[in-house]
């Protein structure tokens, strides 16, 4: 990777945002020309467009865009991470990668304030959260807009992933995405 793209971050992408959040957003994995390039989740790729605009519209960030790690973007009450920390082959994580990265997500969740809820962007993120809690994948069913109680009293909010595919096919609209976020931060 570094040979082909020497200026890319091309390493495990750390979480970004408020150190003591009220909401942890869990995405899928770094995008090839997004977080893998920039070193910040959802920065520099299409999926970040809707996410960062929504955070801005809800007063959770100081900017509606995220272009690079030195752009001055700050999040308030929100932290963003991924279920898989490194760029997966063909931009689609394999189960083994999800399992290998899960201890990192578990550690991130363990370090959160007790009143911090979780927000899963898609089924893979939802299942990664369940794994982090040691729950069966069938124990809490993923559905856009679903809200689940977790064993420690936190809530898990589900949304379709804010990918180009989901937004272009209208599986996920801006309104649908913002509605789930409004519930999660209320």
Average pLDDT, the chain: 95
Burial of 17 (0-12, 13-18, 19+ CB in 10 A): buried
d(CA 108, CA 112): 7
Q: How confident is the model at residue 4 (pLDDT cuts 50, 70, 90)?
A: confident
Do strands 117-121 and 23-27 pair parallel, antiparallel, or not at all (unpaired)?
parallel
Is pLDDT of 181 > 80?
A: yes
pLDDT for position 78:
98
Is pLDDT of 1 > 80?
A: no
Is pLDDT of 2 > 70?
A: no
What's the pLDDT tens digit per position in 57-68?
Answer: 999 999 999 989
What's the pLDDT tens digit per position in 148-175?
Answer: 999 999 999 999 999 999 999 999 999 9
CATH number of this structure's domain 16-185: 3.40.470.10
Is pLDDT of 91 > 80?
A: no
Give the mean model confidence (pLDDT) for residues 119-137.
Answer: 98
pLDDT for position 116:
98
**What residues does each domain of the chain span?**
16-185
């Amino acid at each position: 990777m570094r040979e082909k793209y020497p200026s890319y971050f091309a390493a495990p992408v750390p979480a970004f945002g408020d150190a003591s959040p009220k909401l942890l957003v869990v995405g899928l994995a770094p995008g090839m020309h997004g977080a893998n390039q920039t070193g910040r989740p959802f920065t520099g790729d299409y999926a970040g467009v809707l996410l960062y605009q929504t955070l801005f519209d809800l007063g959770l960030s100081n900017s509606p865009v995220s272009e690079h790690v030195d752009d001055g973007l700050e999040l308030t009450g929100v932290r963003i991470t991924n279920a898989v920390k490194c760029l997966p082959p063909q931009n689609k994580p394999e189960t083994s990668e999800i399992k290998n990265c899960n201890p990192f997500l578990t550690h991130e969740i363990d370090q959160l304030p007790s009143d911090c809820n979780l927000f899963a962007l898609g089924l893979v993120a939802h299942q990664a959260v369940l794994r982090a809690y040691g729950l069966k994948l069938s124990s809490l069913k993923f559905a856009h807009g679903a809200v689940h109680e977790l064993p420690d009293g936190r809530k898990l909010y589900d949304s379709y992933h804010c990918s180009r595919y989901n937004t272009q096919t209208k599986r996920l609209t801006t309104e649908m995405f913002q509605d789930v976020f409004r519930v999660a931060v209320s």
